[in-house]
Structure 1
Amino acid sequence: MIESTESRVAVRARPVASSPVLDVVVPVYNEEVDLGPCVRRLHAHLGEHFPYPFRITIADNASLDGTLAVAEALAAELPGVVVRHLDAKGRGRALRTAWSASDAPVLAYLDVDLSTDLAALLPLVAPLISGHSDLAIGTRLARTSRVVRGAKREVISRAYNLLLRGTLAARFSDAQCGFKAIRADVARELLPLVQDTGWFFDTELLVLAQRAGLRIHEVPVDWIDDPDSRVDVVATALADLRGIGRLGRALLTGALPLADLRAQLGRAPLAAPPGRVPAGLPRQLVRFAAIGVASTCAYLLLFVLTRGALGAQPANLLALLLTAVGNTAANRRLTFGISGRRHAGRHHVQGLLAFALGLALTSGSLAALHAVTDPGRAVELAVLVAANLAATVLRFVLLRLGMHHRR
């Protein structure tokens, strides 16, 4: 049978008695030696330890050796094994094709070298079968993980994940481990938004899932590095950097429909019991405080630069207005996770209301100070900082009330 998706795909399989609960995809390129032992071992493990019907899909990425022939022989030999042949390379392309065509409610993939111990497979997919989580990843960076690999790969892996935290605010620990699973209903919504067809596919999928408010389950794994790995580290690293830049721009410009995804798939914040801190509030306070410090520094700098030419009150008005607009935009994106133009006008009106309150506090403080004495510049700045702190508390309350429930 021939199916057409991103490229010509051929599917050959032995009949399966019942629809699978889990579809495990094994993407391969020129793996005629390792493919047979991998699939037989995986099939035996699932047959013995997995309590639901399963399917193993071999996704051949335009192999040039005998990989396709080996895959077809395995499909003829083992029940529940199918083959999908793609005419174009790319692990991400293979996963998108196989996952999009699957009828299983839970989808997974693992690398053909089986570096990850298969004992972690059931813990990986169980939260997805139960509905507790939306995606699941194996992590080699948890304290309880047991990993054997060289120093070079260890440093590269940790540096990459630190880079993701710094640039894309990733909260998952290991983006690159070739051991992941996703619910099919979630995959249907996320896959059309993932542009990468290569190694950055995993990272892009996880970042979109996190930004959409989905729950990502992490499983510590036992992992032994494959010394025969054919991954081009330099080329992959450059492609990953380009992917980070592209995805970062899309997130900053609001080009992705994250608000719609969050409304459709995301898990709503838990209602806090009386006397308890609301969910997400500590993290929001930290980000709001960081933005507040930057805004206050910018405000004071603008005030000092314009104070001599404009006078105290006009300089205060100008500095407060400019920093209020920037502060609202930064909190909208970074503190409350809102992107795109939806409700942007309303949010900036709320920001201007907070600006008006801040202006009243700071201008009133300046007026009261000058009515009592002729202060020096240092005293003037100290009074403004105190008034700004009070205005900042009011700003957070107003912005949280206006934005937190409209994400």
Structure 2
Amino acid sequence: MKPYLSVIIPAYNEAKRLPLTLIDIGKHLSKAEFSYEIIVVDNNSTDATSEIVKRFSHLINNLKLIRCNVPGKGAAVQKGILEAGGKIRLFMDADNSTSIDQFGKMIPYFSEGYDVVIGSRDVSGSQLIPPQPWYRRISGNVGNLIIQALLLPGLWDTQCGFKAFTEKSALRIFPLIKIGKWGFDVEVLSLAKTTGFKIKEIPVVWVNNPFSHVKASAYLQVLWEVFKIRYWLTMNKYKL
């Protein structure tokens, strides 16, 4: 039977952070009134990520492991989303920056007819614990203004790693993805907008992880990929 929710967690060398995330997800979803599956996508980890998932699969219901040999978070999310079976497909970060308990806020918007619901750190009602360093806030704000100007006007946080899609929108958007790394969030949302899917941005609680794997250079890479996405859309490289 098709589950209502598929939770996809891309993981690269997450053996230290993943256990607490899986425990939190298992605790919350075990109380849910809907069916679910949890999919960890091991993205060529060189640590014990896969072994951790295998061990926890005996403790947490409906926990699965798949592997993605193509490097990059975007590639791992794409594989997980397309192999999932849920009517709603959510991807979230392995460090649990946004807890699965925030998914409850999304459900009403799917009932209202939205196709894509994304967590945001930059709309009214969001909470950042603790606040991000000033240099990350500035670089993020500048980057978002460029993203809005070129691709996604009205969306204030394209990079929060907590996004959910209906099955229909996921199966339309994710096979088209060309970007495997940090810019894939912008690409996914741009494709959703271009293909006519309704997007809702909602506030979430986000816990800042001081040991984040995201390097400062990733912001520059995202901006370069934004220009590529704009070009591909203009030249109809996605063949929409």
TM-score range, shorter chain: over 0.9
C-alpha distance in 1 between matches for 2:160 and 2:97: 10
Q: How does 1:383-398 map to 2 (within 5 A)?
A: none
Alignment of 1:60 with 2:48, yes or no, is no
| TM-score, normalisation: structure 2 | 0.93
Distance 1:118 1:99, change over 3 A: closer
Corresponding residue for residue 150 of structure 1: 133
* Structure with higher strand content: 2
Distance 1:194 1:88, change over 3 A: closer
SS state at 1:107 partner = strand
* Structure with higher helix content: 1
Alignment of 1:184 with 2:159, yes or no, is no
The answer to whether the Cα contact below 8 Å between 2:41 and 2:76 also exists between their aligned partners in 1 is yes
Distance 1:104 1:131, change over 3 A: farther
Corresponding residue for residue 140 of structure 1: 121
C-alpha distance in 1 between matches for 2:89 and 2:223: 27
Q: How does 1:268-307 map to 2 (within 5 A)?
A: none
Q: Which runs of 4+ in 1 moved over 6 A?
A: none
C-alpha distance in 2 between matches for 1:53 and 1:154: 37
Corresponding residue for residue 70 of structure 1: 52
* Alignment equivalent of 2:77, drawn from 73, 95, 109: 95
Cα distance, 1:224 vs structure 2: 1.9
The AA in structure 1 aligned to 2:138 is V
Corresponding residue for residue 198 of structure 1: 181
| CA RMSD, Structure 1 to Structure 2 (Å) | 1.6
Cα distance, 1:20 vs structure 2: 1.3
SS state at 2:37 partner = strand
The answer to whether the Cα contact below 8 Å between 1:136 and 1:217 also exists between their aligned partners in 2 is yes
C-alpha distance in 1 between matches for 2:121 and 2:47: 31
Corresponding residue for residue 159 of structure 1: 142
Distance 1:200 1:227, change over 3 A: same
C-alpha distance in 1 between matches for 2:177 and 2:107: 22
Distance 1:239 1:125, change over 3 A: farther
Cα distance, 1:119 vs structure 2: 3.1
Q: How does 1:235-246 map to 2 (within 5 A)?
A: 236-246=218-228
C-alpha distance in 1 between matches for 2:42 and 2:53: 8
C-alpha distance in 2 between matches for 1:182 and 1:131: 14
* Alignment equivalent of 1:174, drawn from 157, 168, 172: 157
The AA in structure 1 aligned to 2:187 is E
Distance 1:193 1:87, change over 3 A: closer
Cα distance, 1:254 vs structure 2: 3.3
C-alpha distance in 1 between matches for 2:77 and 2:99: 21
Cα distance, 1:159 vs structure 2: 1.6
Alignment of 1:112 with 2:89, yes or no, is no
Cα distance, 1:169 vs structure 2: 4.3
C-alpha distance in 2 between matches for 1:53 and 1:131: 20
Corresponding residue for residue 226 of structure 1: 209
The answer to whether the Cα contact below 8 Å between 2:143 and 2:223 also exists between their aligned partners in 1 is no
Structure with the larger RCO, 1 or 2 (CA within 8 Å, 6+ apart): 2
Alignment of 1:81 with 2:63, yes or no, is yes
The answer to whether the Cα contact below 8 Å between 2:42 and 2:66 also exists between their aligned partners in 1 is yes
SS state at 2:118 partner = strand
C-alpha distance in 2 between matches for 1:57 and 1:29: 14
Cα distance, 1:92 vs structure 2: 0.8
- Kindly provide the CA deviation profile for residues 23-43 of structure 1, in whole angstroms up to 9, marking residues without a partner as x: 001111111111111101111
Q: Give the number of aligned pairs.
A: 238
- Kindly provide the CA deviation profile for residues 137-187 of structure 1, in whole angstroms up to 9, marking residues without a partner as x: 001101211112221221222221111012224332210001000011111
Identity across matched positions, percent: 26
- Kindly provide the CA deviation profile for residues 10-60 of structure 1, in whole angstroms up to 9, marking residues without a partner as x: xxxxxxxx5311000111111111111110111101222x32001111111
| TM-score, normalisation: structure 1 | 0.56
The AA in structure 1 aligned to 2:7 is V
Corresponding residue for residue 33 of structure 1: 16
C-alpha distance in 2 between matches for 1:193 and 1:177: 21
C-alpha distance in 1 between matches for 2:125 and 2:99: 14
Cα distance, 1:117 vs structure 2: 4.0
